[in-house]
A and B are shown apart, each in its own frame.
Chain A
Amino acid sequence: MTRMIPMIGRRLALSFVILSLTALIVFLGTEVLPGDAITATIPAEELAFYTPQQIAEMRHEYGLDRPVYLRFLEVWQRLFSLDFGTTIVKREPVYDRILHPMINSAILAGVALAVMLAAVIVLGVLASLRPGGRLDNAISGTTLFTYSMPDFVVSNIFVIVFAVWLGLSPAVIFASTDAPKLTILAAAILPVVALCVHGAAYQFRLLRTGMIEALNSDYAERAQLAGVPAWRICIGHALPSALIPMLNGTAAFVAALLSGSVVVESVFKFPGIGSELLRALAQREIPIIQAIAFLAALAVIVANLIADIAVLALDPRVRTSSRHG
């Protein structure tokens, strides 16, 4: 464990640098290129509706008349202290506007992640027990099919099948944005499954490959000869080894969850951050876009960090190589 602390420290420092770079990219993308927050908010042909004095006042109000590096430092400080400022149109705190949608989306994404991991491990283990067998073919074929289905198709099929035809779940989520978390959780069942379908397929393929490789390895064969039961070889020896490539894929899945939730939330009218982001993009609400982009990057970085730590914990080879280099 003591060996891992410096490695985790290095990962944390790296995460901090990545997050700072993210802040820089967000800043450049939304405030500097191709103009600034004002010209990004106002398309060129609409500048006719502003007097130069109005533009100057707005620039001053948003601090855009100051040097770029100072503005970046301010944005950096604001983002890192989670102070996202106020919206441009309504002048309301960005934090108030995104808090509940963010929590709701975190619940949706968190549960989707947990469900996906559980489903993938079960399916991956089952499929790898008899590669090429009927069960493996059935699961592999199904996941190949679901992998090719975009989120919006899956969501709409789920609505038609489970809500309209079978009446098992609501087609429209009525829960209010600030509803109790259990209500949000109950409302999230179908969106969670819809989010998992695509991502689980990819994760399953990673895990299945890892499992088959591990089960065909020398150490698995030796354990088999030593009389270790098959289930134990599978769960105790092959699975930890096979999880390592999948964990890296899981971190990527978190990023996919964020983009997928925009679509899925829209179909189910889930009160999450996806619809808030779409609204902000269309309204050119730069502070909201900055906040959501930063928090999304933070979520991906944290997910990667957790995955890295898990890999360090599971794989002694990584610990050794890290120590040496």
Chain B
Amino acid sequence: MSVMSKREFLQLAGFSIAAAGSQSILGITAFAADSIPDWAALPQGATPKSGGKLVYGQTYPNWAVGTSNNGKHPYYWIDLLTRSIWNCLIWIDHDFNLRGELAESWAPVDETLKVWDFKLREGVMFHNGKEMTSEDAVASINAHIAQKGSSFINKWFDRVEARGKYGLRFILNASYAEWPYALAEYRIVIVPAAAPDLILADGIGTGPFKLVQVDNRRGFQAVRNENYWLKGRPFLDEIEGYVVNSQTAINGFRSGQFNAVFNIDPTTAGQYESAGGQIHKSKGGDQFLLSLPKNLNLIWNDPRIREAISLSIDRDAINKIIYNDPGTWVGNDTHMSGINPEFFPREKSYDVQRAKKLLAEAGHPNGLNLPAIVFCASFPEEPRMMAIVAQSLKQAGINLELREIPTDGFDAYTRQVNPPIGRPARSLVGPRNPAINLGRFITNPTEAAGWTGAKYDAFVALYERTISEPNDAQRLEMYKELQRIVQSDTPAIVLGGRRNMLAHAPKVQNLRSHSQNWSSRFDDVWISA
């Protein structure tokens, strides 16, 4: 395999800027003003119709918005699905490609990969009638940094500058080959510039719908943005979303109140279908990761015990019983999953005999009791999945109570103690690219859970080299090595992963479930006659 030099890489990137429609991780999209970008093209033969209202139920409970002080703040909208009201610079499409949302193009300035230039779309209007300019983007990014919007950008961010009316320059404090991907995070939306205490607080965005009302504990209503930057979109006149439990969602769908339900319980798909619903399943979804605090004197500080726990979990049973989808999801005790091309599987993920041997070596030949681990039912099937986990752990002599806590307030509850790591808890990890996935062991104290030692040091050093490596092929191999290091120490345990599923009425067209729940779009959805 030939290795590309940094200079060759940058030259290629420069060519790519000129080549309309081309894209890569450091990718560029370009198209004529006022045209629809290729990624927003409708399916062939589609005959969209304008009008109508989409009313959806969301079974992902109000983990964020339920505990918010201001439901108009985009940070709390992961439950309600952010992209109805707001846009980011970048969007990750259903196949995990980078797409320019409010950014038209982007490229690193030089081979250090520390300086990135972005070109904003022209003519994008906010819901308040003001045009979006680089000043707004700079103010938004600075607000996200100040409000700690995402640890995925804060760690590398140094400053952002406006370059003309539509230009942005990011200056990072370290090389980061996959910087644009981080700007697709659901919180990193672009809003009108305002004073630090006012910015992000008014529900104004550039999205396809304008917010009319939001109830932090229940849902929202929004109406079509006539000045949406994707010309001719959205097709819907109105959109409403409500956070409901699984049974209420089914009742609402069967009674016709909902014409779509996001994140349905996989075992209820038949109930939706029997009510005329159509099911759409994405390639992936969130994974359930146990973060085990290692900064306290707890039994799992011994890596043999952590590995034994992982080897005792019958993930195939979870795939089969919960998702009726045997063999589809694979994990490896990192944030990576089979939908990442860089995924490196464990040699053997379920081996009770080896688990017992490890426990015996660690001084627990008769099994052991673990401290309770808390979780919240972020997805309706989760309590059932936890029951399978607890039962399969018992086979290896491991007793673990997985204690359910309400979703709203869960985050605050888990972080109430033992700062900055918190209680032993299940973290939900959404699917992302390897730079973010693996970087979470460094940037997220809860998920890193106080991982220290020689292997951690080796991981950090290699990670920094990896994300500064411009060559895709080399980076891929380095990502695999990073996964090997994690697997050899098992700082966290991944129980399973889901395939996001939604149900919709037959008249609802082009509504698709996204592996990144928060990247679901509504501007290309319509309701047929």
In the complex, A188 has a CB within 8 A of chain B: no
Chain B residues bordering chain A, tally (CB within 8 A): 36
Decide: A46 and B405 in contact? CB cutoff 8 A. Answer: no
Decide: A171 and B251 in contact? CB cutoff 8 A. Answer: yes
Decide: A167 and B418 in contact? CB cutoff 8 A. Answer: no
Given the known interface contacts A90-B67, A283-B405, the answer about A271 and B218 at a Cβ–Cβ threshold of 8 Å is yes
Given the known interface contacts A92-B69, A176-B215, A283-B409, the answer about A46 and B257 at a Cβ–Cβ threshold of 8 Å is no
Decide: A177 and B217 in contact? CB cutoff 8 A. Answer: yes
Which parts of B399-448 form the interface with A (CB within 8 Å)? 405-406, 408-409, 412-413, 416-418, 423
In the complex, B479 has a CB within 8 A of chain A: no
Q: Which residues does chain A contribute within 8 Å of B219, judged by CB atoms?
A: 174, 176
Taking a contact as CB atoms closer than 8 A, the residue among A42, A89, A160, A171 that contacts B409 in the complex is: A89
Taking a contact as CB atoms closer than 8 A, the residue among B251, B297, B406 that contacts A159 in the complex is: B251
In the complex, B244 has a CB within 8 A of chain A: yes
Within the complex, what minimum Cβ distance (angstroms) separates A314 from chain B? 43
Q: What is the bound-complex CA distance between A45 and B401, given in angstroms?
A: 11
Given the known interface contacts A49-B417, A92-B69, the answer about A170 and B217 at a Cβ–Cβ threshold of 8 Å is no
Identity of the chain A residue whose Cβ is nearest the Cβ of B422 in the assembled complex: A49
Taking a contact as CB atoms closer than 8 A, the residue among A171, A178, A283 that contacts B413 in the complex is: A283
Given the known interface contacts A49-B418, A269-B244, A269-B248, the answer about A172 and B257 at a Cβ–Cβ threshold of 8 Å is yes
Within the complex, what minimum Cβ distance (angstroms) separates A164 from chain B? 5
In the complex, B5 has a CB within 8 A of chain A: no
In the complex, A163 has a CB within 8 A of chain B: yes
In the complex, B213 has a CB within 8 A of chain A: yes
Q: What is the bound-complex CA distance between A174 and B240, given in angstroms?
A: 10
Q: What is the bound-complex CA distance between A305 and B405, given in angstroms?
A: 39
Judged by DSSP, the binding face of A is loop
Given the known interface contacts A48-B371, A90-B412, A283-B406, the answer about A171 and B252 at a Cβ–Cβ threshold of 8 Å is yes
Decide: B413 and A170 in contact? CB cutoff 8 A. Answer: no
Decide: A89 and B412 in contact? CB cutoff 8 A. Answer: yes
Decide: A164 and B244 in contact? CB cutoff 8 A. Answer: no
Taking a contact as CB atoms closer than 8 A, the residue among A171, A176, A178 that contacts B255 in the complex is: A171
In the complex, A69 has a CB within 8 A of chain B: no
In the complex, A60 has a CB within 8 A of chain B: no
Q: What is the bound-complex CA distance between A54 and B213, given in angstroms?
A: 41
Identity of the chain A residue whose Cβ is nearest the Cβ of B256 in the assembled complex: A167
Taking a contact as CB atoms closer than 8 A, the residue among B67, B298, B408 that contacts A48 in the complex is: B298
Q: Which residues does chain A contribute within 8 Å of B409, judged by CB atoms?
A: 89-90, 279, 283, 285
CB contacts between A and B, total, < 8 Å: 90
Q: Which residues does chain A contribute within 8 Å of B296, judged by CB atoms?
A: 48-49
Q: Which residues does chain A contribute within 8 Å of B416, judged by CB atoms?
A: 89
Taking a contact as CB atoms closer than 8 A, the residue among B244, B297, B405, B418 that contacts A172 in the complex is: B244
Q: Which residues does chain A contribute within 8 Å of B252, judged by CB atoms?
A: 171-172
Identity of the chain B residue whose Cβ is nearest the Cβ of A170 in the assembled complex: B257
Q: What is the bound-complex CA distance between A164 and B242, given in angstroms?
A: 18
The contact string, 1 if C-beta is below 8 Å from chain B, for chain A 45-67, is: 11011100010000000000000
Within the complex, what minimum Cβ distance (angstroms) separates A62 from chain B? 14
Within the complex, what minimum Cβ distance (angstroms) separates B271 from chain A? 11
Q: Which residues does chain A contribute within 8 Å of B413, judged by CB atoms?
A: 89, 283
Q: Which residues does chain A contribute within 8 Å of B67, judged by CB atoms?
A: 89-90
Decide: B218 and A176 in contact? CB cutoff 8 A. Answer: yes
Which parts of A61-83 form the interface with B (CB within 8 Å)? none
In the complex, B394 has a CB within 8 A of chain A: no
In the complex, A282 has a CB within 8 A of chain B: yes
Within the complex, what minimum Cβ distance (angstroms) separates B56 from chain A? 12
Identity of the chain B residue whose Cβ is nearest the Cβ of A269 in the assembled complex: B248
Decide: A279 and B408 in contact? CB cutoff 8 A. Answer: yes
Within the complex, what minimum Cβ distance (angstroms) separates B72 from chain A? 13
Q: What is the bound-complex CA distance between A262 and B371, given in angstroms?
A: 32
Identity of the chain A residue whose Cβ is nearest the Cβ of B421 in the assembled complex: A49
Q: What is the bound-complex CA distance between A279 and B408, given in angstroms?
A: 8
Decide: A50 and B251 in contact? CB cutoff 8 A. Answer: no
Q: Which residues does chain B contribute within 8 Å of A160, judged by CB atoms?
A: 251
Decide: B57 and A172 in contact? CB cutoff 8 A. Answer: yes
Decide: B257 and A50 in contact? CB cutoff 8 A. Answer: no
Q: What is the bound-complex CA distance between A171 and B253, given in angstroms?
A: 9
Within the complex, what minimum Cβ distance (angstroms) separates A45 from chain B? 6
Decide: B251 and A177 in contact? CB cutoff 8 A. Answer: no
In the complex, B19 has a CB within 8 A of chain A: no
Query: What are 27 A-B contacts defined by CB distance under 8 Å?
Result: A46-B423, A49-B296, A49-B418, A54-B417, A89-B413, A90-B67, A90-B409, A92-B69, A164-B255, A167-B256, A171-B251, A171-B257, A172-B57, A172-B244, A172-B248, A172-B251, A174-B218, A174-B219, A174-B257, A177-B218, A269-B218, A269-B242, A271-B217, A279-B406, A279-B408, A282-B405, A283-B409
15 further A-B contacts with Cβ under 8 Å, apart from A49-B417, A171-B255, A271-B215, are A42-B417, A46-B371, A49-B423, A50-B418, A54-B417, A89-B413, A89-B416, A90-B409, A172-B255, A172-B257, A174-B242, A177-B216, A267-B248, A269-B248, A285-B409
A residues apposed to B, CB below 8 Å: 42-43, 45-46, 48-50, 54, 89-90, 92, 159-160, 163-164, 167, 170-172, 174, 176-178, 267, 269, 271, 279, 282-283, 285
8 closest residue pairs by CB, A with B:
A176-B215, A171-B255, A171-B251, A49-B417, A172-B252, A163-B255, A282-B406, A49-B418
B residues apposed to A, CB below 8 Å: 57, 67, 69, 213, 215-219, 240, 242, 244, 248, 251-252, 254-258, 293, 296-298, 371-372, 405-406, 408-409, 412-413, 416-418, 423
